[in-house]
Amino acid sequence: MNSNTPSSSAGRAGSADSAAPRRNSKRPKYSKFTQQELPACKPILTPRWAISAFMLVSIVFIPIGVVSLFASRDVVEIIDRYENVCVPESFRNDKVTYIQSDVDKICNRTLRVKKLMKQPIYVYYQLDNFYQNHRRYVKSRSDSQLKNNNSQDDVDSCKPEDNTADGMPIVPCGLIAWSLFNDTFNFSLNNQQLAVNKKGISWKSDRDSKFGKNVFPKNFQNGSFIGGKHLNSSVPLSEQEDLIVWMRTAALPTFRKLYGKIERDLQPNELIQVTLENNYNTYSFNGKKKLVLSTTSWLGGKNDFLGIAYLTVGGLCFFLALSFTVVYLVKPRRLGDPSYLSWNRNPGGH
């Protein structure tokens, strides 16, 4: 009897524990949302639906691709690569010495207009193999210094171009500003100067929000090693549009920057005389320099990628639609037979 008493009490205790609710349970509170029991539409893609969807995509994408490609082909471009031809023969084997020397770097080029170029004609310089997206290069700037005249000493992020040898802050500081592109281009047509408008070539938001109207260059390019263009110390940074364009760093190693705009039409077979000054050093890193004159269309500049991408996707969808149509006609599904649905199959035979 004594041996049965403990077990009986233990059984009653266990029954009481199992009957009591679990207060420390990790089970989440029930809801139809968390258990994914909300009403939902579960469409079944029949062959007709799949064929119709692919055909609809092809009908939409192919015309867009054709229109985009024609718009890109309407853009007229003149591209002239000059970093090699503008080096004298005596320096062809040592271009770095040439670009770092004080010899005359004036170079004359002739550009032929192949097709009618309607104004405005955009003048770009293009650099290849220049990695403006390098982490240390991108971070080497002071946004507060560019915007506020009271933040001239905020140069902690600008090393190594933060201070002069005597400890004075450089404005604008950093490697981006220090490496400002400094080749110059002058254009003439029929022995008359062809004006290039350099106003309004930068983003208005950059001029108004990122570069201060009361911030002026100080101690810029005063070191022993000059990186690029000099800035006018009497002009505020908000009006130095070449600098503003350059400071918007590119994401890829090949990029174009806007130099100015030619605001007159250029007729076919006209010859443009270009007098350029080859100052910028791209020879140290095997970079390329190109002068680009380009018109625009409603889609922007010349870029065939968008049109080709639309045509490729549209053509692929059209091919799939035709393929599915042939398969459906050769081997159609029997009406009223739901066995093609995975949840209606019985692979085990039970």
296-317 pLDDT, tens per residue?
A: 999 888 989 999 999 999 999 9
Residue 8 confidence (pLDDT): 45
Q: Where are the beta strands (DSSP E) in 84-120?
A: 106-112
Q: How confident is the model at residue 282 (pLDDT cuts 50, 70, 90)?
A: very high
Q: Does pLDDT of 11 surpass 60?
A: no
Lowest mean pLDDT among 9-23, 29-43, 264-278: 9-23
Q: How confident is the model at residue 341 (pLDDT cuts 50, 70, 90)?
A: low
Residue 226 confidence (pLDDT): 86
Q: How many Cβ atoms are within 10 Å of 179's Cβ, its own excluded?
A: 19
Return d(Cα 211, Cα 237) in angstroms, integer: 6
63 cis-preceded (ω within 30 degrees of 0): no
Three-state secondary structure call for residue 194 = strand
CB neighbour list of residue 16: distance below 8 Å, 6 or more residues apart: none
- Name the residue with higher pLDDT: 69 or 21: 69
CB neighbour list of residue 131: distance below 8 Å, 6 or more residues apart: 137, 253
Q: Does pLDDT of 2 surpass 80?
A: no
Return d(Cα 303, Cα 40) in angstroms, integer: 43
Residue 338 confidence (pLDDT): 56
Kindly state the percentage of the chain with pLDDT values over 70: 88
Burial of 127 (0-12, 13-18, 19+ CB in 10 A): buried
Average pLDDT (203-210) is 93
Residue 33 confidence (pLDDT): 85
286 to each of 130, 131, 228, how far by Cα in Å?
9, 12, 17
Q: Does pLDDT of 19 surpass 80?
A: no
- Name the residue with higher pLDDT: 346 or 160: 160
Residue 347 confidence (pLDDT): 55
136 to each of 3, 133, 221, 224, 340, how far by Cα in Å?
81, 9, 20, 22, 58
Burial of 192 (0-12, 13-18, 19+ CB in 10 A): exposed
Give residue-wise pLDDT tens across range 129-185.
Answer: 999 999 999 999 999 999 998 888 899 999 889 888 888 999 999 999 999 999 999
Q: How confident is the model at residue 222 (pLDDT cuts 50, 70, 90)?
A: confident
Q: Which residue has the tokens 């890109």?
A: 72
Q: How confident is the model at residue 102 (pLDDT cuts 50, 70, 90)?
A: confident
Global pTM value: 0.79
Lowest mean pLDDT among 6-15, 81-90, 267-276: 6-15
Residue 3 confidence (pLDDT): 46
